[in-house]
Amino acid sequence: MLILLGPLLLMPLPTLRAGDASARPNILWLVSEDNNPFLGCYGDALAHTPTLDRLADEGVLYERCFAQPVCAPSRFALITGMYAATAGPAEHMRAQGKIPAWLKGFPALLRAEGYYTSNNDKTDYNSPVSIREAWDESSPQAHWRKRPSPAHPFFSVFNFFVTHESCLFPTKELPLTLPPTDRAQVRIPAYQPDTPEIREDWGRYYDHIALMDSQIAQKLKTLADDGLAENTIIFYYGDNGGVLPRSKRFLEESGTHVPLIVYFPPKWRRLAPAAPGSRIKEPVCFTDFAETVLALAGVNIPDYMQGCAFAGPAAKTNEFVFCTRDRMDERYDMMRSVMDCRWLYIHNYRPDLAYVQRLDYMFKARGYQSWQRMAAEGKLTSATAQFWGAKPTEELYDMMTDPDSVQNLATDAAHRETLERMRAALARHTLEINDNGFIPEGSPLEGYAASRRNGAYPLERILALAAAASERDVKNLPKLISALDDASEPMRWWAAQGCTMLGAKAAPTEALLRKHLTDASGAVQVAAAEALSALGKTDVALPVLARCLQNADSPFFSLQAANVLNRLGERARPALPLLKKFLASLPRPSDETLANGYLKRLTGQTVSVLEGREPALVYPTFPAAAKE
């Protein structure tokens, strides 16, 4: 058998001594941060990834692996085998999903069957999953070498940070092991403007992928040196979509498509879904990983898991996989997507919000800054403006012929059947997992148990209303008016958001919206205030938004108010003195809670724009039409 010992060398593996081999395979996860499949084995001619290319030659490559578009919801899916949206608010970035007491990280199930589990060392599970129960050790020092004896099978995870988003805004340069990527050779996708900054970001990203490949090689060498390769199934994958503009955080293929390679040594090749060197075309996603590892280890798979084991004795294939986008750091949005082997369908539940909102962390990247500059100078083309403005309600892309996701086929009559099939698949999935994303963050209805109480969360009705609201069609106004007085908090919330999306066409709802400025739900108050602002009643809305902003007992309702105030732009100027006072009252960085940290970022940015110290984002007037 061959095993990788370095980026350019294949060497035979020494035979294991009798008695050392376990009756069950070791399983090793090698996880790179923020990676698209920019690897040679995925057909990228510019990539220098000899280690992973050879791992693919000896293993099985999954062509259509999809992650959630950002790390915390993705890692919730990995550790639980469940979609993050099933236990709100885990679907949001940096949240604490309300999970049932019985839910354990799946490595705890391996431990119960005699596996040694180690994690080096990222967790970021977006929920109070017990680290102590899941891992024998989770730390920068965690390693399979710390297992009690050589006879113990292990499940070990190593995370490689070198490709993380922060590599695009470094405080210091990492030494390269190879000549830098030729920036002139980079292919700039159709949706990005070809600026020097974006081209430089692409080159830097390729350089860091090469560094990551060499780090993977060292870990594989350690495995071989320890005499463990013959008994270890190796997974390599990226933890979420890449870091270049319109990737991480977004539901196009550029934000969710990640590499996945699984190597099965000869001893365990019977567990593989195909022969070495094979390429699997059926889609897989992160909810499948826990079930797959349990299947490979011979451990019973719990009924609550929502994935599909893609290897092992009872491997299955998915017809569809699903992704979500909700709050990213300090900014709210809501999108849902479904993919099969060919098609990507996206439903935008707040199509009135621009694709690009100015997230503080994201805009540290020079590529986003240069895109903003091009937009402000009026230099965007129709193609590069598509991602820099309002969204259509629905998007449909052919991933085989349009990997850049720039030709929206949702309104093309020739693809009507495909659109309806994908739309129906997404609706079924939403109901099956009891998607908590249709509940306002901060509501007592959030969470696995709370949202499943009989009658508490009428999701079928809420989903229908949210879909109608997102259509931005005045014919749906009677539905919105009726729902504004519904007993269900999410129904009232979506009704008010629908009024915002209709703008002046929602004028008949003004009296009802004023009534809900004192709604029992802070989220509904904020949504009603935004809808009134859309009707030109900003003078009525601002005092309510100011009150909600300062509600220390409900930090996420405060954050929702801060989002609306930021979106109001110049219309929020009368609130500037209050915003400055509120900003000064927030705790120092060393003391701030997560919610306060986001409030500080967002309120600070609003104040900075209103005071002229920072330009507001400029959006083209034609991107929504171009998408549709």
pLDDT of 624 = 41
pLDDT of 625 over the 80 cut: no
Q: Which pLDDT does position 22 carry in this prediction?
A: 58
For residue range 373-423, list pLDDT tens digits in order: 999 999 999 889 999 888 999 999 999 999 999 999 999 999 999 999 999
Interval 563-576 mean pLDDT? 98
- Note the pLDDT tens digit of each residue in 462-473: 999 999 999 999
What pLDDT, on the 0 to 100 scale, is given for residue 14?
30
Query: Is 306's pLDDT higher than 60?
Result: yes
- Taking the CB of residue 184, how many other CB atoms lie within 10 A of it? 7
3-state DSSP call for residue 249? strand
Identify the residue with better confidence: 173 or 44: 44
Active site residue 341: no
Task: Check pLDDT > 90 for residue 2.
Answer: no
Quick one: pLDDT at residue 590?
67
Tokens read off for 101: 């007491």
Q: What band does 534 get if pLDDT is binned at 50, 70 and 90?
A: very high
For the chain, domains (ranges, CATH) are 2-14+31-167+205-319 (3.40.720.10)
Q: pTM for this one? A: 0.94
Average pLDDT over residues 565-572: 97
Helix 555-568 to helix 538-549 angle (10° resolution) is 150
Distance (Å, rounded) from C-alpha 208 to C-alpha 391?
32
Model confidence band, residue 3 (pLDDT cutoffs 50, 70, 90): very low
At residue 280, the 3 state secondary structure works out as strand
**pLDDT (tens digit per residue) in 239-288:** 998 999 999 999 999 999 999 999 999 999 999 999 999 999 999 999 99
CA angle 308, 314, 320 (to 5 degrees): 30
Predicted confidence (pLDDT) at residue 20 exceeds the cutoff of 60: no
Q: Which residues contact 302 (CB under 8 A, 6 or more apart)?
A: 81, 109
CB 191 within 8 A of CB 383: yes
Res 621: pLDDT: 63
Q: Phi, psi at residue 126, to the nearest 5°?
A: 60, 25
* Mean pLDDT value of segment 222-234: 98
- Whether the Cβ atoms of residue 255 and residue 248 lie closer than 8 Å to each other: yes
d(CA 264, CA 501): 51
State residue 429's pLDDT score. 98
Question: What mean pLDDT do residues 529-541 have?
Answer: 98
For 502-565, give the secondary structure using H, E and C. HHHHHHHHHHHHHHHHHCCCHHHHHHHHHHHHHCCCHHHHHHHHHHHHCCCCCHHHHHHHHHHH
Query: In whole angstroms, what is the distance from residue 36 CA to residue 56 CA?
Result: 16
Tell the residue number behind the tokens 């709100």, with chain if given: 88
Average pLDDT estimate for 13-18: 30
Contact predicate 69/241, CB 8 Å: yes
The answer to whether residue 351 scores a pLDDT higher than 70 is: yes
Catalytic annotation, pick one of 41, 65, 71, 548: 71
Rounded to an integer, the average pLDDT of 451-475 is 98
Which pLDDT band holds residue 8 (cuts at 50, 70, 90)?
very low
The predicted pLDDT at position 11 comes to 29
Share of the chain above pLDDT 90, in %: 90
For 63, phi and psi rounded to 5 degrees? Answer: -75, -25
d(CA 275, CA 269): 8
What is d(CA 276, CA 383) in angstroms, rounded to the nearest whole number?
40
pLDDT score of 92 more than 80: yes
Task: Report phi then psi at 398, rounded to 5.
Answer: -90, 105
Task: Give the mean pLDDT of the chain.
Answer: 93
Lowest mean pLDDT among 14-28, 104-118, 354-368: 14-28
Alpha carbon distance 284, 343 (integer Å): 14
- pLDDT, one tens digit per residue, over 48-75 is 999 999 999 999 999 999 999 999 999 9
